[in-house]
Chain A
Amino acid sequence: MKNVDMEIEKEAVLGSLPVLTGERLYGFIDALLILSGYCIATWSYTQGAYLTTLVGFKQLLIGAFFGAILMLVIYQLPVILSVRWGIDIWIWLRAVLGHKGVVLMSLIIIVINYPWYAVSADLFASSMNALAKKIHLPALPHTLMSVACVVIITPLALFPHRANYISELEGFEYYGGKFYRQLGTLGTRKFIDDMALIKNIQKVIKRGDIIVIYPEARYANVGTSTIIPNSVGKLCKMLDVPVVALTMHGNYLRSPIWNTKVRKQARLKAEIQQLFTPEELKNTSILQINEQIRQSISYDEYKWQKDNKIAITYSERAEGLELVLYKCPVCGKEFQITSKGSVLTCTGCNSKWTMNEYGEMLAENGHLQFSHIPDWYEWERANVIAEIDSGKYHFEGKVHIEALPNEYNFIDLGNGTIEHTPEGFLLTFKDYGEKEEKNLFFPANTTFSLHTEYNYRNKGQCITLSTYDNTYFLFPLTEGFNATKLQFAAEYLYKINFKSKGKKL
Chain B
Amino acid sequence: MDNRELEKRLSLMESSSYIYPKPFSKKDYVLTAILALICLTVIIGGGFL
Residues of A within 8 A of B2 (CB): 13, 16-17
- A67 interface neighbour in B19, B35, B43, Cβ under 8 Å: B43
Whether A21 touches B49, Cβ cut-off 8 Å, given contacts A63-B43, A73-B32, A73-B36, is: no
Chain A 80-91, CB-CB to B under 8 Å as 1, else 0, gives 110110100000
Chain A 46-83, CB-CB to B under 8 Å as 1, else 0, gives 00000000001011001100110110011001001101
Closest chain A CB from B18 CB (angstroms): 7
Closest A residue to B22 by beta carbon equals: A84
In whole angstroms, what is the CA distance A17 to B9 when docked? Answer: 8
Across the interface, do B32 and A66 meet the contact criterion of CB distance under 8 Å? no
Residues of B within 8 A of A20 (CB): 9, 12-13, 18
A18 within 8 A of B: yes
In whole angstroms, what is the CA distance A66 to B47 when docked? Answer: 13
Chain B 25-49, CB-CB to A under 8 Å as 1, else 0, gives 0000000100110111011001101
Across the interface, do B35 and A21 meet the contact criterion of CB distance under 8 Å? no
Whether A83 touches B46, Cβ cut-off 8 Å, given contacts A17-B2, A69-B35, A73-B32, is: no
Across the interface, do B9 and A74 meet the contact criterion of CB distance under 8 Å? no
Across the interface, do A62 and B19 meet the contact criterion of CB distance under 8 Å? no
Closest B residue to A67 by beta carbon equals: B43
Closest chain B CB from A32 CB (angstroms): 15
Whether A58 touches B21, Cβ cut-off 8 Å, given contacts A17-B5, A67-B43, A73-B36, is: no
Residues of B within 8 A of A74 (CB): 36
Whether A58 touches B9, Cβ cut-off 8 Å, given contacts A17-B2, A73-B36, is: no
In whole angstroms, what is the CA distance A67 to B1 when docked? Answer: 45
Closest chain A CB from B28 CB (angstroms): 8
Across the interface, do B46 and A62 meet the contact criterion of CB distance under 8 Å? yes
- B42 interface neighbour in A21, A62, A80, A81, Cβ under 8 Å: A62
In whole angstroms, what is the CA distance A83 to B24 when docked? Answer: 11
Residues of A within 8 A of B6 (CB): 17
Across the interface, do A70 and B43 meet the contact criterion of CB distance under 8 Å? yes
- A70 interface neighbour in B1, B13, B39, B47, Cβ under 8 Å: B39
- A58 interface neighbour in B32, B35, B38, B49, Cβ under 8 Å: B49
In chain A, positions 7-24 with a C-beta closer than 8 Å to chain B are 13-14, 16-18, 20-21
Closest chain B CB from A70 CB (angstroms): 4
Across the interface, do A73 and B35 meet the contact criterion of CB distance under 8 Å? yes
- A13 interface neighbour in B1, B10, B13, B35, Cβ under 8 Å: B1
Residues of A within 8 A of B1 (CB): 13
Closest chain A CB from B13 CB (angstroms): 6
Whether A58 touches B24, Cβ cut-off 8 Å, given contacts A18-B9, A70-B39, is: no
In whole angstroms, what is the CA distance A56 to B49 when docked? Answer: 9
Across the interface, do B43 and A21 meet the contact criterion of CB distance under 8 Å? no
Residues of B within 8 A of A13 (CB): 1-2, 5
Highest count of chain B CB atoms <10 Å: which of A13, A16, A62: A62
In whole angstroms, what is the CA distance A81 to B49 when docked? Answer: 38
Across the interface, do A84 and B21 meet the contact criterion of CB distance under 8 Å? yes
Closest B residue to A68 by beta carbon equals: B39
In whole angstroms, what is the CA distance A18 to B7 when docked? Answer: 10
Residues of A within 8 A of B9 (CB): 17-18, 20
15 more CB-based (< 8 A) A-B contacts, given A13-B5, A59-B46, A59-B47? A14-B5, A17-B2, A21-B21, A56-B49, A58-B46, A58-B49, A62-B43, A62-B49, A63-B43, A67-B43, A69-B39, A70-B40, A73-B35, A83-B21, A84-B24
Residues on A lying within 8 angstroms of B by beta carbon are 13-14, 16-18, 20-21, 56, 58-59, 62-63, 66-67, 69-70, 73-74, 77, 80-81, 83-84, 86
A-B residue pairs in contact (CB < 8 Å), sample of 21:
A13-B5, A16-B2, A17-B9, A20-B13, A20-B18, A21-B18, A21-B21, A56-B49, A62-B42, A62-B49, A66-B42, A67-B39, A69-B35, A70-B39, A70-B40, A73-B36, A73-B39, A77-B32, A81-B24, A84-B20, A84-B24
